[in-house]
Structure 1
């Protein structure tokens, strides 16, 4: 593979709209493909004869734990790639290589510790997160097998950020495409041919993540890469800086787990025996649909972060402004399209998971409720991720936590005043309020740091200093 021939993106000089499309769209597609891991699993699980609905509810209970595991890859991957991109913008490849090696070794340590911790605590976690006596056995089987593949999941996801950060978004997309295609092939084979049922879905996912992991390491270890991967002993000072930069996106994903946990627990409690499992099954379908919106949006905004960080390191505020505008327009276009889809085609999506008329009707209503404010949500995603790429992690963290806190409070309080199903309205309430706040906050940052074309204020990156 000739990586030099494929690297066609100059983050500091290429025409901005074309550059954003070449980098963000493959990353968006990669995230869309990545979400197929869980959605394809859920589709096949929901169609298992006799036990499909209970198995799907069990997989839904596992979702927040899987999200929590994945957030650790984001902690290192985004935190490290932002600092990595700034170093490339300053033409400091030696320090960039040091950052890359430290991220790799830190992910190795994290994956080992997390595997042990989650295997020891999975029974307690599943009960806390809404598993009933009926759904617990399915959730336990799925989570046990998935957790054993934590090493592959964290390495493939966390290190893939550094492929895109070096100007190879297409290779980053191939990483997730390999895993998703393999997962789609293995799922029906393991579930229906080998009769492994929900265990087969988990095993297919782990093998798919293994394939992605091997591809990522193969690409990064090639000497033809601008900054090849070398294993380094973790340097505490540098690791702390990486964790500080990655903490905001990590907490964003980790708190997603809390929201899902709260939703499942509230639906189980207020729905009561029997109907609680029905609500969780439908919530799992609705959340799968939302992943088709939020994951590609994270791909668009996440793909733009290396561009923003690179030009921040190179002190080019004019390019930063253009990048953010292009990314915002791209997100608004995407969410507008998905809003229309959610109005006209939700029944077709729900029908992929189940043929039960009650589940489909409730899921259609839930999809339409969840997506009421997805267009304004574009502003939240773009501005928060842009602030993170600029090193303003405290502000981005506050904006993210404000949305999640609003979401959590609405999830818990709405069923007290209305019915259990009213918890589905927590999503649009939080999205609308958060979009207004993040837009106001970013406007202040824009006028303070990005409006002029002079010197950019460097914000506590350790080595960085204001460029002339």
Structure 2
């Protein structure tokens, strides 16, 4: 009995520490404690995506192109996890800020079980219509056989990733950053170890890459299941708390749908790049695919760090602590911008060396990839500022504004550019389409940020008058 009580006290103490980080700890310490572990986890997660590209690159252009073609398909499936996870995380942070634990339990349980159900349905549909979907995503006749071998395993295994992404967002909302980092770290280390073993030692080729990824995703799922079953979470996840009410779904989806839309647009942008690049051969598809994965390393680090910011922003807004909210915004902009500028400079200076790791001696692929990486490195310097505000709108429950801003970079601004520019500028139009869309998105962000700060100032005055 003593052991049970001691464990109970430990769990309560952990939960109180999480609430202290969200509500009262110095901003710098809170951002470091909540953002850095998730950032490290997502960085390693992004790195193991690069591992697939690196090892598969040794198999030739066809398998390399297949990885690029299948990638957006997996992103759409994972988008469901983001829709329920990120939508719930925003609401959960605000509920915790108000002290509503019962409501938070219902939201967390509803989000988790809903994501699993809808993820399974989508995976079944994709599996049935796999070949025509891959064709739409830009698979050429030479790439298609490899894409089918990889996708048949990878897409089914995405059910684990749907669960993982949902849980990653939920545990971030409660301040359990170390759990999120540990889960992602385990999956990454496994994939880094298993990919070369299955691909080359067992001579399984691209099928081995898919199996390694599936095993790694399952391992991450086990970490989150342990977190739930050992009652380490601030939420119960009991099936009796599954409450698919109109109010809960409205709160989840008003933030979740913009997030899903962003994910779909990300997949669409990659598919459009692949389709436009297919006219220039498999080397162009493979080169742009490598650039996409390298840039994803940087973007996922920023997203990971800002998970901590989102939790603090939502909690502070729910508690009407506007001073803390402003401090969090300012510090997050400063830190994320410093990081993005540093990464951008690295991509500029070492572009040829970076792309050479994936080209396997293919000079055409290397030339295309290097040129695109330089352009994307320049525009990446602006990514931190953009992402702080796209995350902030969602954290505050501003679904419409979050949707508009989140859809800018790879949707509203990108799609017209990628559809028009290649016809005017040829291959260069493909290489520079994302950087041009990035610059336009920053201009939109500045205007929306100014309007948001005026709204926050008004809300602060109203909160002070109601005291």
Q: Counterpart in 2 of 1:461?
A: none
Q: What's the offset of the Cα at 1:61?
A: 0.6
> How far is the alpha carbon of 1:371 from its aligned partner?
2.0
Alpha carbons of structure 1 residues 140 and 234: separation in structure 2 relative to 1, 3 Å: farther
Q: Does 1:106 align with 2:122?
A: no
SS at match of 1:373: helix
SS of 1:434 mapped into structure 2: helix
Distance 1:116 1:467, change over 3 A: farther
Cα distance per residue 1:359-395 (max 9 Å; x no partner): 2232111100122221222221111110110111101
Distance 2:233 2:376 in 1: 42
TM-score by length of 2: 0.93
1:456–1:180 CA distance, 2 compared to 1 (3 A): farther
Instruction: Report if the CA contact (8 A) 1:411-1:423 is conserved.
Output: yes
Aligned residue pair count: 452
Between Structure 1 and Structure 2, the one with more helix by share is 2
Q: 2:79 aligns with which of 64, 71, 81?
A: 71
> Which consecutive unaligned segments of at least 5 residues does structure 1 have?
458-465
Q: 1:143-158 residue pairs with structure 2 within 5 A? A: 143-158=151-166
**Which of 413, 416, 427 is matched with 2:434 structurally?**
427
The aligned residue for residue 259 of structure 2 is: 249
1:41 aligns with 2:52: yes
Tell me the residue number matched to 1:207.
Answer: 215
Return the match for 1:375 from 364, 371, 381.
381
**Partner residue of 1:88 out of 84, 93, 96:** 96
Q: Report the counterpart of residue 120 of structure 1 in structure 2.
A: 128
Distance 2:89 2:405 in 1: 22
| Partner SS for 2:36 | helix
1:43 to 1:450, Cα distance in 2 relative to 1, 3 A: farther
Query: Judging changes above 3 Å, is the alpha-carbon distance between structure 1 residues 131 and 224 closer, same or farther for their aligned structure 2 residues?
Result: closer
| Large movers: runs of 4+ above 3 Å | 1-9, 450-457
- What SS does the aligned partner of 2:23 have? coil
How much has 1:335 moved relative to structure 2? 0.5
CA 440–147 in structure 1, closer or farther in 2 if over 3 Å, else same? same
- Give the match for residue 197 of structure 2: 189
In the aligned structure 1, how far is the partner of 2:342 from the partner of 2:12? 36
Contact 1:315–1:467 (CA<8 Å) still a contact in 2?
Answer: no
Structure 1 CA distance, aligned partners of 2:244 and 2:459? 37
CA contact (8 A) 2:85 2:112 kept: no
1:448 aligns with 2:455: yes
Asked whether the 8 Å contact 1:106–1:234 carries over to 2, the reply is: no
The answer for the alignment partner of 2:36 in structure 1 is 25
Structure 2 unaligned blocks of 5 or more = 1-6
CA distance 1:456–1:69, shift in 2 (3 Å): farther
Deviation at 1:456, TM superposition (A): 5.1
Superposition deviation, residue 139 in structure 1: 0.6
